[in-house]
């Protein structure tokens, strides 16, 4: 049974690898079902059942991802050329699809990319791959680090996660206006509640920018704060960085009891390290998850 499951997953993995390597090719259902060695009459349902999104959407997202890299790299290619390479017959169709996914036109993204909605848009790709490559952690993945106190500008999100997108937009707008780029000013999230609390209204998270710049007391968006220094257990996350719950559960459920350590009276938090085109790798963001220790 286990061998059969491994074989099935390996065939699906071939499809994902084939898509990555042939984004300029013909990625229709017939081609991809042949790569997986599945019947074309069932492959689209098998793919959907395995990954939670259709073949067409997976391919579209993969091509849009490459297109966005090329736009943000500000190379010599025109928007029209990038649109054609992404499989669109006309720039207008490409622009509509791009705006729908990222909330920006291709030309606006090329000039000033908004990275938070960009990262969120590719959650389905990360989720698809994680279904074939379940992430497991070991004690060797955790290091104990002495961290310094970090002054931050803080935007508090309180309430249903469904409204988090609006908070992120305010965070990005303030950051841009202040000239505090993710490339030069660190990004932190402080998790003050469960990811999905029993009462959605109890969700609580702080979005933070590392800066010692004074924040006006009457600032309508941000306030001054500090992430306290001290010993922390640090777990590096490179897969599915939109959902840190599995990593947090490992720290609390497995690592902490076995380590003999005790948690300090400060919430678990993370630092997001962004990798920007043209030097971006498969993972555009790496997260370090910090569990404060006594």
Short-list 30, 23, 31, CA closest to 59: 23
For residues 65 and 59, the answer to whether their CB atoms sit within 8 Å is: no
Which among 126, 86, 122, 133 has a CA at the least distance from the CA of 106?
A: 86
pLDDT of residue 276: 56
Q: Mean per-residue pLDDT for 191-210?
A: 92
For the chain, residues classed under CATH 3.20.80.10 are 139-292
Strand partners, 152: 210, 225
Share of the chain above pLDDT 90, in %: 37
pLDDT (0 to 100) of residue 132: 66
More confident residue, 143 or 13: 143
**Pairing mode, if any, of strands 285-292 and 230-237?**
antiparallel
Provide, rounded to the nearest whole percent, the portion of the chain with pLDDT above 70. 91
Task: List the single range of 101-105, 112-116, 127-131, 276-280 with lowest mean pLDDT.
Answer: 276-280
- Asked if residue 292 lies in contact with residue 258, where contact means CB atoms within 8 angstroms, the answer is no
Q: Please count the CA atoms within 13 angstroms of the CA of 266 that sit on its side-chain side.
A: 20
How many CB atoms are located within 10 Å of the residue 72 CB?
19
Task: Please state which of the ranges 1-5, 86-90, 170-174 shows the lowest mean pLDDT.
Answer: 1-5
φ, ψ for residue 292 (rounded to 5)? Answer: -65, 135
Average pLDDT over every residue of 172-199: 90
- CATH (residue range 2-130): 1.10.10.60
CATH match for 139-292 among 3.40.50.300, 3.20.20.140, 3.90.550.10, 3.20.80.10:
3.20.80.10
The span from the CA of 240 to the CA of 140, in Å, is 20
Helix (H, G, I), strand (E, B) or coil at 89: coil
CB 11 within 8 A of CB 38: yes
Using pLDDT thresholds of 50, 70 and 90, give the confidence band for residue 280.
very low
Average pLDDT on 109-117 reads: 77
Least confident of 123-137, 171-185, 272-286: 272-286
CA-to-CA distance for 187 and 116, rounded, in angstroms?
11
CATH 1.10.10.60 residue ranges for the chain: 2-130
Interval 87-98 mean pLDDT: 88
pLDDT at 74 over 80: no
Backbone conformation region of residue 90, classed left if phi is above 0, alpha if psi is from -120 to 50, else beta: beta
Q: How confident is the model at residue 40 (pLDDT cuts 50, 70, 90)?
A: confident
């Amino acid at each position: 049974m286990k061998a059969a499951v491994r074989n099935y997953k390996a065939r699906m993995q071939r499809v994902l690898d084939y898509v990555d390597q042939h984004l300029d090719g013909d990625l229709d259902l017939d081609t991809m079902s042949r790569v997986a060695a599945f019947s074309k009459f069932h492959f689209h349902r098998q793919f959907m059942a395995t990954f939670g999104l259709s073949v067409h959407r997976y391919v579209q997202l993969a091509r849009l991802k490459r297109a966005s890299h090329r736009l943000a790299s500000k190379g010599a290619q025109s928007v029209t050329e990038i649109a054609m390479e992404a499989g669109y017959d006309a720039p207008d169709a490409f622009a509509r699809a791009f705006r729908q996914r990222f909330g920006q036109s291709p030309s606006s993204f090329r000039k000033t990319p908004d990275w938070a909605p960009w990262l969120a848009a590719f959650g389905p790709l990360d989720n698809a791959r994680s279904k074939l490559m379940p992430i497991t952690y070991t004690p060797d993945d955790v290091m104990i680090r002495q961290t310094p106190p970090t002054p931050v500008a803080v935007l508090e999100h309180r309430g249903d996660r469904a409204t988090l997108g609006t908070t992120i937009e305010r965070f990005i707008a303030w950051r841009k206006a202040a000239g505090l780029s993710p490339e030069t000013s660190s990004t932190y999230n402080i998790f003050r509640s469960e990811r999905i609390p029993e009462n959605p209204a109890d969700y609580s998270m702080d979005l933070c920018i590392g800066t010692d710049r004074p924040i006006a007391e009457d600032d309508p968006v941000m306030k001054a704060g500090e992430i306290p220094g001290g010993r922390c257990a640090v777990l590096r996350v490179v897969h599915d960085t939109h959902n840190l719950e599995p990593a947090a559960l490992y720290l609390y459920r497995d690592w902490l009891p076995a380590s003999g350590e005790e948690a300090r009276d400060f919430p678990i938090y993370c630092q997001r390290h962004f990798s920007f085109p043209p030097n971006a790798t498969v993972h555009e963001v790496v997260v370090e998850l910090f569990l404060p220790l006594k």
